[in-house]
Amino acid sequence: MKKTLLTSVFLISLTALFISCNSTKEVQNTPDEYADLEQEELQAINVEKKENNSSPSKKVSATSNKKKKNFFQELFTFGNADEFLKYDETTVFAKELVGMKEKNAVIIARYDDGMAGFGSYINAAYFYVQFDDVNREVLANAAEKYFSDFENKKLNRKGKHTDRTYGKINYRLNWGTISSSTPNYGFGDGYVGYEFVKNSPYFTISNFPFPNIYYERAGDATTRESPPVKYYFTKAQLRNLLEMISEDKIMENLYKNSEEYIAVPTEVDEY
């Protein structure tokens, strides 16, 4: 019995490591270029040189070539995976020990309350970030301000706390070791803003640790709080996210996948 238990634990650990490794992509989205007013003349001088020395990069759509579940994902599908409807895919950026990495992300909606957002690995944990309809609008408004500031050269490279520029946003956070088992969850206020990384600006969604409601049930088997989380988005990634979690997309996919509805309705009686 003890040997069987140790074998199971080893397989689960191996699975988590395997899925985590597969969640990191080679960079597909090119970081946004940004030149403030002071840099435009200098950049103009170097444009011709860059064009002559650089070859065009191959761009890959973030939502193309969807992956099927691998063997280990099929084998260990358990936990609370059935809380989420996974209906699309995109990518996000996150800072890890080895630097900024582009990560696979899944677009989700909750069956119980219609909250929607995205899920992705950061380091050794999987997180689902979920917004209600009010805060999806907050996110959309913050994104529009960011796009405007970007185009009008108002982003501050050396500003402090620029990741809070567009204010607070409330969301639900689920987390766990693998995507199909994220029993830890909490609600709280995060921030929307931006941050420069290697001279490129990114829109950011971040939070300090959220209280873990699941701790009341699990006790010391888990943690009292979530880890702090911060996601980074290029303009293209942000636009993709907003489109994928629009009200029309959410309702369309929830409707198609809900057991409460049938594809061909019964004809009503005439009287």
- Would you state the pLDDT for residue 40? 56
- Which residue would you say has higher pLDDT here, 228 or 18? 228
Strands, E, within the chain: which ranges? 24-25, 84-96, 99-110, 116-122, 125-131, 168-176, 184-197, 200-207, 229-233
Give CB contacts under 8 A, 24+ apart, made by 179-182: 179/19, 179/81, 179/106, 179/119, 179/121, 179/126, 180/73, 180/76, 180/77, 180/78, 180/79, 180/80, 180/81, 181/78, 181/79, 181/80, 181/81, 182/79, 182/80, 182/119, 182/126, 182/127, 182/128
Range of weakest confidence among 55-69, 110-124, 158-172, 251-265? 55-69
- Tell whether the model's pLDDT for residue 46 goes beyond 70: no
- Would you state the pLDDT for residue 32? 86
Residue 105 domain-assigned? yes
Residue 269 domain-assigned? no
- Would you state the pLDDT for residue 29? 76
- Would you state the pLDDT for residue 38? 56
Residue 229 domain-assigned? yes
Residue 37 domain-assigned? no
Q: What is the mean pLDDT of the chain?
A: 81
- Would you state the pLDDT for residue 77? 45
Domain count, the chain: 1
Residue 270 domain-assigned? no
Q: For residues 169 and 114, what is the distance between their CA atoms, to the nearest angstrom?
A: 17
- Would you state the pLDDT for residue 53? 46
Average pLDDT on 160-178 reads: 97
- Would you state the pLDDT for residue 111? 92
Residue 183 domain-assigned? yes
pLDDT-above-70 percentage for the chain: 72
Q: What's the pTM value of the predicted model, to 2 decimals?
A: 0.73
pLDDT band of residue 270 (cuts 50, 70, 90) is: confident
Q: Which domain holds residue 251?
A: 2-27+75-257
Residue 48 domain-assigned? no
Residue 91 domain-assigned? yes
Closest by CA position to 118, among listed 182, 69, 59, 75: 182
Average pLDDT on 23-47 reads: 62
pLDDT band of residue 72 (cuts 50, 70, 90) is: low
pLDDT band of residue 262 (cuts 50, 70, 90) is: low
